[in-house]
Structure 1
Amino acid sequence: MKPIISSILALLVFLSVSNEIISQEDLLGYKEVQLTQTNADNRYASYNHKGEDIIFESNRDGRWQIYIMDINGTHQKPLFKSSSNDRRPSWHPYKDIVIFESDRSGTWEIYTYDFENNSVKKMRIPIKGDKRYARFAPNGVQVVFCHEAYAGVTDIYMCSNKGKRTKRIVNNKHLNIGPHFNRRGDYIIYHSNRNTQGESNIIYSRSIITDDRNRLTYFKDHSEYPNWSNIRSTRIVYSAKVDDMIHPEIFIMRSNGTRKIQVTYNDVPDILPSWSPNDINLLITGYRDGYEQICKILLKEPLNPENRALDQK
C-alpha cells in the first residue's frame, strides 16, 4: 500500500508544479457517471430486479412524474402521464411492477403500475391520511409504508399488497421515514428523529417479528435514507452529515452499524442511495449544476486505492 500512496503524493506534486490544480477529494471515493442532465430535479432512482432499467421521479414537466431510463441514462421517458404528482417509485422484487405514491385523490395514497397491462391501481389501505415511502417486501406479498398520523408524527405500517392485514410496526410520536426491508424480510431499516429532540435523524433497524430495535448511527450525526444491500443484506448504504460537513455525502456501513466508510466527496448534497441488483453500483441523487440529478457510483472503480477494502466485503 505504501508505494501506491507514494505514487499518489508524487502525482500531486507533479500536478502542482505543472500549475494543474487537483484536490485531495479528487483522489477519494469512487468513479461517478451522471445519468440525467436536465434543468429540473430528478430523484429516487432504483434498478429493476434484472438490472436493465432505472425508475426515478422528475419534475421536468412542472410536476412530479415517474420516468424510466436504461442503465446508461438514455431513452428517458415518462412511465405514464397524469395531471397529479406521482412520486417515490420503487420496484417489485421480481416482477415488472412499480409502487409509488400519488396525490390524485386529494391525499397521498399508494398505487402500483403494472407493465404487463399498462395499468395503474390504487392500493386500498383502510387508514385515513397521507401514505408515503412505500416499498415491497422481498416476497412481493407485503408492503411497508409511512403514514402521517398528524403534523410532525409519521408511523410505519405493513400490510399485504392488496392493502389488507394492516399492522403498525413503528409508533413513537416522531418522524419515522423511509422504511426498507432486508433480504429475509424480517427486519426493516429507517431513519427517525426520535431521541434527538427533533434536531437530526438517526438510522434504526427493527425486527418485525420481535420488535427488537437497534440504533446504527450516532446521535451527533445527521443520517438518512438507509438502503440494505441486495445479495445478503450485509451492508447498508445511506446519506449523512458527519463532523463539520455542510452537505450530506454517501456512506456504507455493515448491517450492525460498524465499519462506516465514506463513498462520495463532492461537497454538495448527495442523498437517496440505492444498490444495483448485484451490489456493485449505487444510484444516488446528487446536486449537480444547480439541480438534483441521478448519478451512478461505480464501487468497483475506486479513485483512492485504499478504498478497495470495501469491494472485498
Structure 2
Amino acid sequence: MNLRVLLLFFFIFFIFNSTDAQENGYNEAQLTNGDYDNRYGTYNEDGSLILFESNRDGRWQIYTMNIDGKNQKRLFTSDANDRRPTWHPYKNIVLFESDRTGTTELYTFDISSKNIKQIKIPLIGNKRYGQFFGNGVELLFTLEKNPEEHLIYRVHKKGKLLRKLVDNKSINRYPKTNKRGSAVLYHSNKNNENENEVIYTHNVIIKENSKLTLFKDKSNFGSWPNVGNRIVFSTIIDNVTKTSEIYTMQSDGSRKRRVTFNDQNDYLPHWSPNDINLLVSRKGKYEQIFKILLKEKL
C-alpha cells in the first residue's frame, strides 16, 4: 500500500468515526444551571459526591452536590476567593487555593472537623492548581514566579521536602499525578514560541518530559484515568474543531478520540472513579458542569 492510499484510508476512517460520534454522540446530563459560573467538577473517591467552584454569591466559593446535581451547598463561607478544589485521594479532605492573605496560597478543609489549614510553602508567588499525590501526604502545585514563568513543584502536605519538577522560562500549569505518583501531566507553552499550549508528561523517576499533543493544536487540562489507561483532555484541533472539545488518548499520546461535539467550549474534564463517565465544564453565556455518560444511560 503506497503512502497516498494509506493517507486516504486514515482520512476516511477519521471522517467516518467523527461523523458517527457526532450523529449518535453520548448522552449528557447538565448538573448546574443559573446566571453564574460553575466549574472544576470532580468526584470523591467512591463517586457519591461532586466538588466544584461557583461564583453565584459574587465571589468564588466551594460547593458540593449529589451526582445528579441536586443538594448543592457551600462547604464554608469566607470573604476571599476560594478556588479550584480537589479531593484527598482517600479522605473527606479538600485541597483548594485562596487569596485570603493577599497572595494565593494552598489550604485544606476537613469536611468532618470543619477545620481549615494553610499549607505553608516557603516560596514567594501565587500557588495554584494544587493536587494530592496518591499517597495523600504529598501534593503538586504551580508556582507563578512571574507572569511569564510558572513552575511546577512537589511538596509534603506540611510544606516540607519541597522539590522542583518542571523548571523552564515558560508557563507550565495544571499538574496532575497518576495513581502511582510516577508521572505528572501538565500543559505548557514551552518549545512553541509561547503560542499554543501543549500537553506533556513528566516522569518523576527518570525526570524526563514527553510531548503528547501537537504544537499546532491548543491542548490543555489533561487528567489521568483512575483504573484504565485513557487520558482525557481538552483541545482545539487545527482545521477540525472551532471550539475546545473533549478528547481521550492513550498515555503515550496515541489513539486520540473525540468525545464532545458542540459549538461551545468544553474543558476541565475529569473521570468518574471507574472511568465510566466524565465531568466537564462547558462555557456558554455562563459556565456550567455537565456529566458525559460514556457508558451509563440516562
TM over 0.5: yes
Query: Which residue in the other structure is 1:239 paired with?
Result: 234
Please give the alpha-carbon distance, in whole angstroms, between the structure 1 residues aligned to 2:220 and 2:233: 6
The alpha carbon displacement at 1:207 in A equals 1.0
Please give the alpha-carbon distance, in whole angstroms, between the structure 1 residues aligned to 2:259 and 2:45: 24
Please give the alpha-carbon distance, in whole angstroms, between the structure 2 residues aligned to 1:62 and 1:115: 23
Matched, 1:38 2:16: no
Query: Which residue in the other structure is 1:215 paired with?
Result: 211
Identify which of 245, 258, 261 aligns with 2:257: 261
Please give the alpha-carbon distance, in whole angstroms, between the structure 2 residues aligned to 1:94 and 1:107: 29
Q: Do the aligned partners of 2:219 and 2:234 also contact (CA within 8 Å) in 1? A: yes
Please give the alpha-carbon distance, in whole angstroms, between the structure 2 residues aligned to 1:28 and 1:264: 11
Query: Which residue in the other structure is 2:84 paired with?
Result: 88
Please give the alpha-carbon distance, in whole angstroms, between the structure 2 residues aligned to 1:111 and 1:231: 28
Query: Which residue in the other structure is 1:27 paired with?
Result: 23
Query: Which residue in the other structure is 2:15 paired with?
Result: none
Query: Which residue in the other structure is 1:120 paired with?
Result: 116
**How many residue pairs align between the two structures?**
279
Q: How well do the aligned residues superpose, as a CA RMSD in angstroms?
A: 1.5
Query: Which residue in the other structure is 2:272 paired with?
Result: 276
Identify which of 53, 57, 60 aligns with 2:53: 57
Amino acid at match of 1:270: D
Please give the alpha-carbon distance, in whole angstroms, between the structure 2 residues aligned to 1:301 and 1:26: 18
Aligned-residue sequence identity (percent) comes to 50
Q: Do the aligned partners of 2:277 and 2:296 also contact (CA within 8 Å) in 1? A: no
Matched, 1:249 2:245: yes
Secondary structure, aligned partner of 1:27: helix
Matched, 1:294 2:284: no
Amino acid at match of 1:49: E
Deviations 1:254-273 (A, max 9, x none): 01100000000011100000
Amino acid at match of 1:296: K
The alpha carbon displacement at 1:209 in A equals 1.8
Amino acid at match of 1:250: I
Secondary structure, aligned partner of 1:32: strand
- Map 1:100-249 onto structure 2 (within 5 A): 100-232=96-228, 234-244=229-239, 245-249=241-245
Query: Which residue in the other structure is 1:48 paired with?
Result: 44
Q: Do the aligned partners of 1:56 and 1:68 also contact (CA within 8 Å) in 2? A: yes
The alpha carbon displacement at 1:49 in A equals 0.4
Please give the alpha-carbon distance, in whole angstroms, between the structure 1 residues aligned to 2:24 and 2:263: 12
The alpha carbon displacement at 1:75 in A equals 0.5
The alpha carbon displacement at 1:199 in A equals 1.0
Deviations 1:162-201 (A, max 9, x none): 1110001100110001000111111000000001111100
Q: Do the aligned partners of 1:275 and 1:283 also contact (CA within 8 Å) in 2? A: yes
- Map 1:56-75 onto structure 2 (within 5 A): 56-75=52-71
Q: Do the aligned partners of 2:276 and 2:296 also contact (CA within 8 Å) in 1? A: no
Please give the alpha-carbon distance, in whole angstroms, between the structure 1 residues aligned to 2:209 and 2:26: 32
Please give the alpha-carbon distance, in whole angstroms, between the structure 1 residues aligned to 2:50 and 2:78: 20
Deviations 1:62-88 (A, max 9, x none): 100001101000000111110000000
Distance 1:204 1:162, change over 3 A: same
Please give the alpha-carbon distance, in whole angstroms, between the structure 2 residues aligned to 1:265 and 1:115: 37
Deviations 1:118-147 (A, max 9, x none): 111100111111000000001101100000
Please give the alpha-carbon distance, in whole angstroms, between the structure 1 residues aligned to 2:98 and 2:36: 19
Please give the alpha-carbon distance, in whole angstroms, between the structure 2 residues aligned to 1:49 and 1:293: 22
Secondary structure, aligned partner of 1:300: coil
Q: Which segments of 5 or more consecutive residues in structure 1 lack a partner in the other structure? A: 1-22, 303-313
